[in-house]
């Protein structure tokens, strides 16, 4: 009977080790996929911002009597590198983008009221 108890003990120990390794591998894979997803979303956002900036510059260049988009005053200076935009977490970045959109809307409304 002691042989059976010893075998059960070693079986349980081996089972715990295998489960622990599988759980560790699954967690590492999940974190890796999450990191890839985050990087992909940041890249998509960067490309989107670049496309919007390019279109805004093209529209400004093709519209008579408009100012250069890069010279428009706002709460923060407009830069070509958006590194400060990516420095915080996602919620902070969204808040910054919302604030910029609100600022641009206010300037557009002010421009329309003058014209």
83 sits in which H/E element = none
| Model pTM score | 0.44
Characterize 43-78 residue by residue with b for buried, 16 or more Cβ atoms within 10 angstroms of its Cβ, and e for exposed: eebeeeeeeeeeeeeeeeeeeeeeeebeebeeeeee
Instruction: Report residue 40 as tokens.
Output: 């992909």
**Per-domain boundaries in the chain:** 1-67, 72-115
CA 87/CA 69 separation, integer angstroms: 24
**pLDDT, tens digit (0-9, with 9 covering 90-100), for 59-104:** 888 877 655 545 544 444 444 445 554 555 788 888 888 888 888 8
């Amino acid at each position: 009977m002691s042989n059976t108890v010893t075998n059960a003990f070693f079986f349980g120990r081996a089972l715990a080790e295998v489960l622990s390794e599988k759980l560790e591998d699954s967690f590492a894979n999940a974190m890796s996929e999450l990191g890839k997803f985050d990087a992909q979303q940041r890249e998509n956002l960067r490309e989107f911002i670049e496309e919007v900036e390019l279109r805004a510059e093209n529209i400004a260049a093709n519209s008579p009597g408009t100012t250069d988009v890069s010279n428009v005053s706002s709460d923060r200076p407009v830069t070509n590198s958006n590194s400060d935009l990516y420095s915080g977490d996602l919620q902070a970045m969204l808040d910054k983008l919302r604030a910029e959109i609100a600022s641009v809307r206010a300037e557009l409304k002010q421009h329309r009221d003058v014209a």
